[in-house]
């Protein structure tokens, strides 16, 4: 029996595959095209697509534990609901699903509401699953590093309510820990919802201050202009996605992204180490150029 990882070649999924392989787990990596992904030794490649039911039946055959990660796409809900239904059909009783923090509160943000729909399915069908709810990824700022360094502006309009940004490596490590906990249990474990955050909450101003400290020169916050943010995103992403991200940033500006009390202690106890900090990630990005 093995652990099937969907999204296995993406930012989080690839780290989950690597982490499970290091722990000696039997891992299947779901990929769309054969031979294109560089997988760790011992990891089995499985070709399939989350919207292709026959391929998913084959991928799920003989699987004990499922890591379900869906990219932000127009058919994200369909992908997730099909995958969970097929997993249930296959008798899989150990699931870790990657959702998003405040999925139940940011109801006007399409990919948040989509993930909350999947969470409701998990609850309604009493699926034995861990729902991981990560906050904004620190590594998102890699996409704007050139702007920060070239123009002296931190352009992500995260506002002043506070965002407990999380390192993607911590998200993956938590996912690995939960997958192994469920996979190694003698019987299916109760449902669990776990927020996955960083140890500190940042505003646009305080994030800019970190970059200022690391670069040794002033970096200013670019402000809360969501129209400009959407227009810039739309030059590189589909319009629906740019607007989805604008709606997310609007909610972040109003409500922030902060966890329940005690979450950081819970995560550090689970991992057995401190959570990674934003300043350390910024230093890594600058050093890597």
3-state SS, one letter per residue, for 112-173: HHHHHHHHHHHHHCCCCEEEEEECCEHHHHHHHHHHHHHHCEECCCCCCCCECCECHHHHHH
State the average pLDDT for the chain: 97
Q: What is the pLDDT of residue 37?
A: 79
Q: What is the pLDDT of residue 35?
A: 80
Q: Mind listing the pLDDT tens digit for each residue in 15-52?
A: 999 999 999 999 999 999 888 778 999 999 999 999 99
Q: How confident is the model at residue 85 (pLDDT cuts 50, 70, 90)?
A: very high
Q: What is the pLDDT of residue 100?
A: 98
Taking Cα atoms as reference points, which of 48, 35, 39, 49 lies closest to residue 17?
39
Q: What is the pLDDT of residue 38?
A: 87
Rounded Cα gap, residues 257 and 201, in angstroms = 8
Q: How confident is the model at residue 262 (pLDDT cuts 50, 70, 90)?
A: very high
Rounded Cα gap, residues 237 and 228, in angstroms = 14
Residues with Cβ within 8 Å of residue 217, at least 6 apart in sequence: 152
Rounded Cα gap, residues 176 and 95, in angstroms = 12
Rounded Cα gap, residues 249 and 38, in angstroms = 34
Q: What is the pLDDT of residue 289?
A: 82
Domain ranges, ordered by start, for the chain: 2-135+168-196+259-275
Is domain 2-135+168-196+259-275 given the CATH code 3.40.50.720 in the classification?
yes
Rounded Cα gap, residues 175 and 12, in angstroms = 9
């Amino acid at each position: 029996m093995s652990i099937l990882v969907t999204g296995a070649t993406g930012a989080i999924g690839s780290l989950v595959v690597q982490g499970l392989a290091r722990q000696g787990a039997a891992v299947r990596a779901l990929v769309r095209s054969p031979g294109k992904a560089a997988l760790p030794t011992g990891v089995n490649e499985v070709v399939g697509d989350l919207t292709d039911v026959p391929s998913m039946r084959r991928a799920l055959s003989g699987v004990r534990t499922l890591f379900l990660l869906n990219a932000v796409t127009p058919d994200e809900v369909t992908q997730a609901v099909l995958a969970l239904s097929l997993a249930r059909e296959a008798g899989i009783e150990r699931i870790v699903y990657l959702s998003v923090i405040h999925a139940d509160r940011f109801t006007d943000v399409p990919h948040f509401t989509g993930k909350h729909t999947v969470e409701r399915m998990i609850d309604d069908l009493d699926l034995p699953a861990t729902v991981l709810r990560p906050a904004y990824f620190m590594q998102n700022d890699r996409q704007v590093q050139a702007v920060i360094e070239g123009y002296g502006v931190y352009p992500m309009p995260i506002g002043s309510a506070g965002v407990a940004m999380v390192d993607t490596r911590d998200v993956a490590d938590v996912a690995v820990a939960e997958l192994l906990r469920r996979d190694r249990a003698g019987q299916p474990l109760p449902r669990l919802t776990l927020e996955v955050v960083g140890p500190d909450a940042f505003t646009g101003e305080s994030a800019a201050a970190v970059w200022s400290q690391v670069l040794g020169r002033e970096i200013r916050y670019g402000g809360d202009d969501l129209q400009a943010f959407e227009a810039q995103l739309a030059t590189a992403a589909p319009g629906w996605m740019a607007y989805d991200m604008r709606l997310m940033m609007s909610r972040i500006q109003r409500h922030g992204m902060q966890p329940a009390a005690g979450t950081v202690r819970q995560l550090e106890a689970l991992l057995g180490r401190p959570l990674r900090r934003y300043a350390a990630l910024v230093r890594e990005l600058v050093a890597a150029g």
